[in-house]
Amino acid sequence: MDQYIGKLLDNRYEILERIGIGGMAVVYKGRDHRLNRLVAIKILKEELAQDTEFRRRFHDESQAVAMLSHPNIMAVYDVSHTPELDYIVMELLDGITLKQYMQKKGGKLAWREALHFITQIMKALSHAHSRGIIHRDIKPHNIMVLRDGSLKVADFGIARLTSAAQATLTQEALGSVHYISPEQARGSHIDARSDIYSAGVVLYEMITGRLPYEGDSPVAVAIQHINSIPLSPREIDPEIPEALEAITMKAMASDVNQRYISADAMLADLEEFRKNPSINFDYTSADLLVTDGDEPTQVLGANTPHSVRSQPAHSDKYVPEEPEPHPRKRQSRPERRDEYDDYSDHGSKLPIILAIAAVAIFLVGIGVFLFVSFFSGLGISGDTVYNVPNLYNKTIEEAQAMDEVVEAQFQIVQGDTVASDLPEGYIVSQTPESGRNASAGSTITVTVSDGSQSSEEGEVMPDLENQDYRIAVSRLEKLGFSESAGNLTIRRENSEDVNEDYVISQDPDPETPLDEVDRVELVVSDGKKAEMVTVISFIDMTEAEARKKAEENLGLVVSGVTEEYSDDIEAGHITWQSINNGDEVAKGSSIQFRVSKGPDPNSTAEPSTAPSTEPSTQPTQTPGGGSSAAEKTVPVQVDLPRDGRETVEVVITVDGERKYAETVETKMMSVVVPLTSSGTRTVTVYIDGQEAWSRAIPFS
């Protein structure tokens, strides 16, 4: 049994169970007895706790993450750094990783959904970069998808302060090979643009359903990041908008000077694309090539690298002097004969030979470095944890050839053979189940079909109860029943007994002859009915008092606290809450607060000589025509209907002016839309043309 389970840390945090293992630490589920809430506790691995350097790095991580406070970044509640134990207390997220989410969706997302996710990722990176923090390991495995459709970037395990000294790269520092930036693979200096490259790879994978580079070994993949450019997304799927492809490829440019200058620049293009999907950014694949000449070694600012020339978000493209028609590999450098002319005049070849030898030694050094960096920790051990893939409806040979199985070195072993409607030899179930975590080299035991009830033979309706409804739908589609064909209906309802997304009942019953079945209805569980709570007003409470009432009394989760100047609210007291007073929400919902920093010391506004009896809802106009009231961005949550519709059109207006219009999938349950304005405005939400609600929201 794990030595920490059941222990009480600092007489406050009880460790309940282990939920994950990373390169440097073990993550546990715990309970904060002081605030009576569940938390995640990251404890530095025991074998690393004896190493001063690892303890320093772990402490640096806690300092880095503690500096961040953003709705799209996992919150840190507490940090402990003692001679005996190092741990970080973080919010416990109720969701799955973006990688798991993509696997559930078949590996590929609709481009609108990918746009929704990448926008949140870039907002998180913008916040981190603005505080000098580079994540260095952006990948879908480190991004959590919550039930409301929002994302949180997690695991700053190899994050680094921009101002920190650049240490020799280790395997952890390299990040994950499929998402690593070229400069990380080379061991060069990195800055915020390395995170932008990795985010570009994540976007590429979301819209295409595949990674940009694959290889027989991690070294081969890393070399491709350095020397190659990937297949363009529209060559994989012509339905992908050209502008989204341009954004993706610009973020993934091998030359850092051809990438977006900052996360904010990429966000600007994403916003322009969201408003106008047919926009043309005038960007070609030639921009992905590395420019001639070495990049100088220098310290760069995290969010606005000073070595990058000033440029707009979608700047004029870089055009090589002699571009090839369809570049796929990085162009070789032109010979620099001018450096050797003087020596050639004297008939000496020695400098040229020495230069060639130096280049050869450099290339060999890169190979050795990458080999040591990647393979030193790739042995089969319990410390490396992978997500178990879904092997259902595959032959054992197909399962063994899956990328996820090969990468994790999973061993596929055949167990029982059972009666099933799948063809003979196809996998019916597996242990451990898909979505679980397992150590590299673990054995997956599979149960295969004997084909006795195969749909090709037959005859009767299969038993679908207590199955994941996605598997049930897949089986029914093979029998000719689907929602698109109009002969399959899926109805959802709450259940106290059946897990969410599993089939509660079916009509017709199992074993009904198929020739008697015209249509099928599945009743799918939405899980236990959420307990609703009525939100109170937290305005003018202290932050500690608001947290206590929100979490202990109402069962809400405080997901973010930011600060703002206020002339009306005392410093340290709440000025704004993301859920309005009187609204009913599900217990466990996230709420955000703003806390007053007191009056703005830089404010030049003259105090009013005559106090107003009514608060103004409109900003004061300045002589130049501008507004003296600062605009604020307020996240507005829209709960989506659960009446069987797959998609709905959501339109949001502010004082009658349309600010948002998107078609969204109802399975997201809700969407959070940031609205920017000033004063108090009337916000109205329409779903499929029908007004859902309208209320006054303060933007100040």
At 251, give phi and psi (nearest 5°). Answer: -65, -30
137 catalytic? Reply is yes
* Interatomic CA distance for residues 634 and 677, integer angstroms: 8
Angle of helix 192-208 relative to helix 242-251, nearest 10 degrees?
140
What are the Cα distances from residue 92, in Å, to 89, 138, 154, 436? 9, 20, 11, 18
Active-site entry in 32, 78, 137, 269 = 137
Helix (H) / strand (E) element for 522: namely strand 520-525
Per-residue 3-state assignment (H helix, E strand, C coil) for 507-529: ECCCCCEHHHCCCEEEEEECCCC
One-letter amino acid of 297: T
**Residue labelled with tokens 């703003």:** 594
- Count of CA atoms in the C-beta half-sphere (13 A) of 482: 7
What are the Cα distances from residue 143, in Å, to 123, 139, 151, 370? 13, 7, 7, 26
The answer, yes or no, to whether the previous bond of 218 is cis (omega within 30 of 0) is: no
Label the pairing between strands 427-431 and 443-449. Answer: antiparallel
* Interatomic CA distance for residues 22 and 384, integer angstroms: 7
Could you give the 3-state DSSP secondary structure of residue 38? strand
Helix (H) / strand (E) element for 111: namely helix 111-130
Helices (H), ranges, 230-387? 233-236, 242-251, 263-275, 341-345, 350-375
What are the Cα distances from residue 51, in Å, to 27, 45, 593? 19, 10, 39
**Which residues, 6 or more positions from 135, have their beta carbon under 8 angstroms from its beta carbon?**
125, 128, 142, 153, 156, 158, 159, 195, 198
Yes or no: say if 578 and 562 are a contact pair by the CB < 8 Å rule.
no
* Interatomic CA distance for residues 425 and 254, integer angstroms: 45
Query: Which residues face 505 on adjacent strands?
Result: 523
Q: What is the dihedral of CA 6, 9, 12, 13, to 10 degrees?
A: -60
User: What's the alpha-carbon Rg for the chain, to the nearest Å?
Assistant: 28
Yes or no: say if 202 and 219 are a contact pair by the CB < 8 Å rule.
no
Longest dimension (CA), the chain: 96
Query: Which residues face 18 on adjacent strands?
Result: 28
**Which residues, 6 or more positions from 551, have their beta carbon under 8 angstroms from its beta carbon?**
35, 36, 37, 557, 558
* Interatomic CA distance for residues 499 and 485, integer angstroms: 28
The answer, yes or no, to whether the previous bond of 312 is cis (omega within 30 of 0) is: no
Yes or no: say if 392 and 475 are a contact pair by the CB < 8 Å rule.
no
Query: Catalytic residue numbers?
Result: 137
